[in-house]
Structure 1
Amino acid sequence: SLRLLHIHQNVPGVLSKVNEIFSRHNVNIDGQFLRTDPKVGYVVIDITASEEQAGAVRDELAAIPGTLRTRVLY
């Protein structure tokens, strides 16, 4: 199990794009926590994935327009 962090501009559609990436890579989301303020949002996502899947997902998350930071926490 891995935990990822995605910090982004708080605009409509970002969470949908995040979840689409996990679906496309056949990665199961074990848990998800979203918090926003008027300008910035962050989502903490627990997943079950191989290191290869996690790397591909992380790279695609970083490419979402409005992304401020993406990282694997553990």
Structure 2
Amino acid sequence: MTSVNFPEVALPAHPDKHRLLHIHDNVPGVLSQINRVLSENGINISGQYLQTNEKVGYVVIDVDKAYGPQALEALREVDHTLKIRALYSSQNS
């Protein structure tokens, strides 16, 4: 993968939430696949922030409960995924 300039996004803090970052090719349908994976794993979205440029998109997702390795692996398998990262997970869940 080559160096990519990401679009900027300002994110509000969501205390007691868990935050994920999903970087993907900017093509139609990726966000719906991400949301389907979260739903199938019983994970409710409390905030979602999407930014794109002509080639790359990234979505920062705040969720209500801890996510396990199965959910992260399913997100990695979403078509056009470049990278998935757990940014933080609240310790109070």
What TM-score, normalized by structure 1, do the two folds share? 0.90
In structure 2, what is the equivalent of residue 39 of structure 1?
A: 55
Deviation at 1:48, TM superposition (A): 1.6
Where in structure 2 are there 5+ consecutive unaligned residues?
Answer: 1-16, 89-93
2:6 corresponds in structure 1 to none
State the structure with more CA Rg.
2
The answer on 1:20 being equivalent to 2:52 is: no
Which residue of the partner structure matches residue 57 of structure 1? Answer: 71
Matched residues, number = 72
Determine the C-alpha separation between the residues in 1 that align with 2:80 and 2:31: 11
Displacement of 1:58 after TM fit?
A: 1.1
CA distance in structure 2 between the aligned counterparts of 1:30 and 1:55, rounded to whole angstroms = 20
Is it true that 1:8 corresponds to 2:24 in the alignment? yes
Structure ranking higher in helix proportion: 1
TM-score, with normalisation over the residues of structure 2? 0.73
More strand by share: 1
Query: Where do 5+ consecutive residues of structure 1 fail to align?
Result: none
Shift in Å, 1:12: 0.5
| Aligned Cα root-mean-square deviation (Å) | 1.0
